[in-house]
Amino acid sequence: MRETLAEWRPAVDATIAELLPREVTTEYLAEFFGAPTYEYDAEAVQRALSDPIWELLDRGGKRWRAVLFLMLVEAFDDDPERYLEYACIPEILHNGTIVVDDVEDGATMRRGGEALHHVYGTDVALNAGNAMYFLPLKVVTRNPADLPAERRLAAYEMLMHELNRTHLGQGMDIVWHNQTAVEVTESEYLEMCACKTGCLGRIVARLAATVTDNEASEEAVARYAESMSVAFQIADDILDVEYAMEHGGEFGKGLGNDVREGKKTLLVIHAANRVDEETAARLESLLQAETNTDAEVLEAIEILQDAGAVEYAREFAADLAADARAHLDEADLTEAGADRLAEFTRFVVDREV
Rounded CA separation 192/164 (Å)? 13
Beta bridge partners of 9: none
Both 172 and 85 in one domain: the answer is no
Residue at a domain's end among 146, 172, 194: 146
Per-residue pLDDT in tens (0 to 9) along the chain, 353 residues:
778 888 899 999 999 999 999 999 999 999 999 999 999 999 999 999 999 999 999 998 889 999 999 999 999 999 999 999 999 999 999 999 999 999 998 888 888 899 999 999 999 999 999 999 999 999 999 999 999 999 999 999 999 999 999 999 999 999 998 889 999 999 999 999 999 999 999 999 999 999 999 999 999 999 999 999 999 999 999 988 887 766 544 433 356 778 888 899 999 999 999 999 999 999 999 999 988 888 899 999 999 999 999 999 999 999 999 999 999 999 999 999 999 999 999 988 887 66
Q: What is the CATH number of the domain that holds 12?
A: 1.10.600.10
Both 109 and 16 in one domain: the answer is yes
Both 299 and 189 in one domain: the answer is yes
Both 136 and 177 in one domain: the answer is no
Beta bridge partners of 109: 114
Both 41 and 186 in one domain: the answer is no
pTM, 2 dp: 0.92
Both 215 and 280 in one domain: the answer is yes
Range of the domain at 206: 149-353
Rounded CA separation 48/32 (Å)? 17
Rounded CA separation 28/84 (Å)? 20
Rounded CA separation 41/48 (Å)? 11
Both 225 and 140 in one domain: the answer is no
Direct distance between the N- and C-terminal alpha carbons of the chain, in angstroms, rounded to an integer: 13
Contact 197/229 with Cβ under 8 angstroms? yes
Both 126 and 160 in one domain: the answer is no
Contact 163/135 with Cβ under 8 angstroms? no
SS3 110: strand
Contact 207/86 with Cβ under 8 angstroms? yes
Q: For the beta carbon of residue 265, count every other beta carbon within 10 angstroms.
A: 27
Residue at a domain's end among 112, 146, 180: 146
Q: For the beta carbon of residue 35, count every other beta carbon within 10 angstroms.
A: 8
Indicate left, alpha or beta for 210 from its phi (over 0: left) and psi (-120 to 50: alpha). alpha
**Nearest partner of 162 among 184, 133, 127, judged by Cα:** 133
Alpha helices in the chain (DSSP H): 2-19, 26-33, 42-45, 51-58, 64-75, 84-105, 116-120, 122-134, 137-142, 149-177, 186-195, 197-211, 218-246, 257-260, 266-272, 277-288, 294-306, 309-328, 335-350
Both 137 and 279 in one domain: the answer is no
Residue at a domain's end among 94, 111, 146: 146
Structural domain count, the chain:
2
- Maximum Cα interatomic distance, the chain, rounded to a whole number of Å: 66
Both 186 and 138 in one domain: the answer is no
Handedness of CA 240, 353, 274, 322 (dihedral sign): positive
Count of alpha carbons within 13 Å of 261, Cβ hemisphere only?
A: 24
Q: For the beta carbon of residue 113, count every other beta carbon within 10 angstroms.
A: 15
Rounded CA separation 156/141 (Å)? 9
Both 128 and 261 in one domain: the answer is no
Both 129 and 197 in one domain: the answer is no
Handedness of CA 47, 50, 53, 54 (dihedral sign): negative
